Amino acid sequence: PIPCVPCLLRLMMHMRNPGMFTDWDDDYYSNYYTKNVCFSGCPLNSHCEWGFCECNAGSTRKYGRCVDNWSAQSLPARPSSFDPFKACTDSSTCMSVDMNLICNTNLTMQGTGKCQCRNDMKWNKESGECQIFMDVDCSAITYETKPSEVILTAVEKAKAEMEQNLLGEVVPLGRTESANESLSNSLLTKMDTKSATDAELTEAFCRDIDSFSFEMQPPKAEPLIDERPSKSCSVVPRSACAIAYDSHDCTGGWKLVIPQGQLRFRWFTSYWSYRNDMDTVGIRAGCTLILYSDSSYNGNSVRIDSYATNDRWVVLGDTAGYQHMEEDVESLQCVCRN
């Protein structure tokens, strides 16, 4: 919902002075922004929010892509010299770099296009992704800056509306807010476009953005703790549920990548060599591994829950409560919650 605020300022400024923005596109605002539609759609693990692609719940935005928490913290930074504006024939090429890069086929004469950020966005070299951009300087407006009379009037209007709409506990909508819902507390919506000056509209915008500043701060990343017994142990693949070794430090013998589901290490099967030979397991963040001493998911068993945002490693023979399962695993079940 936050992007509506800068887009609203552009709209109000455009209404006052149609020639103010040379890049104003009525067709785009009518067919995409106001209809909550994204040009060329959004890639996997993301969805459209008022013309911009945002990450789905459970994934983290990093360098314009939606990834899991581990990948977000381990992705190498993009250098400031990184050039995202590649040649393209469709937006899928661009979205593999950034979900808000689209292919503009009007930039060349050779039938191919060039990647560019969506309307109202620009490439931020420091963060290595497309971000919402407004060419507005708010540095002169702070908490200590005395508000203008027009702003004070807008604040009183906002307070009155909030009191009328205060009906009790706010219930999550479970959907994208409408434009009116997301802008309901914006000072800009309380301004009279015809009578307010450009400076007063800008002040309203800056105070709106300031009120959102806390919410817009990137969340502090939870530290990743590397529990691997040694560097010889591979990081659990993001596509797997767990990984197992037949040595305490992963330096010798076999390695088994465990998918979600069930495995039985029965005689005369391709898995028989793993039977009663497991020493170390690593479980992907958000997953649970259950080990059994018999081949039909019975006998002695242990359940090992990983952490919500961190992989968990256990050396069976060295960990209290799991020692009886060292080299005594004949079947297992593994499931992930994300």
pLDDT at residue 168, rounded to an integer:
45
Q: How far is CA 86 from CA 14, 80, 91, 113, in A?
A: 31, 16, 11, 8
pLDDT at 295 over 80: yes
- Contacts by 79-84, CB closer than 8 A, 24 or more apart: 80/125, 80/126, 82/125, 82/128, 84/115, 84/123, 84/130
State the average pLDDT for the chain: 82
Q: What is the pLDDT of residues 226-245, one digit of tens each?
A: 899 999 999 998 889 999 99
CB 38 within 8 A of CB 24: no
Per residue in 79-108, pLDDT (tens digit) is: 989 999 999 999 999 999 999 999 988 765
d(CA 2, CA 306) in angstroms, rounded, equals 35
Confidence of residue 139 (pLDDT cuts 50, 70, 90): confident
What percent of the chain is modeled with pLDDT above 90?
A: 43
Q: What is the pLDDT of residue 178?
A: 57
CA distances from 219 to 5, 16, 100, 148, 319 (A): 21, 37, 21, 33, 34
The per-residue pLDDT for 137 is: 82
pLDDT number for residue 227:
92
Backbone angles phi, psi at 75, to 5 degrees: -65, 130
Q: How far apart are CA 138 and CA 144, in angstroms?
A: 13
Q: Please compute the mean of the pLDDT values over residues 194-204 and round it to a whole number.
A: 82
- pLDDT-derived band at 14 (thresholds 50, 70, 90) equals low
- Global pTM value: 0.55
Using pLDDT thresholds of 50, 70 and 90, give the confidence band for residue 306: very high
Between 264 and 112, whose confidence is greater? Answer: 264
**8 Å CB contact between 190 and 154:** yes
Give residue 154's pLDDT. 80
Examine the pLDDT at 324 and tell me if it is beyond 80.
Answer: yes
pLDDT classification of 172: cutoffs 50, 70, 90:
very low
Which range (140-154, 156-170, 275-289, 323-337) has the least confidence? 156-170
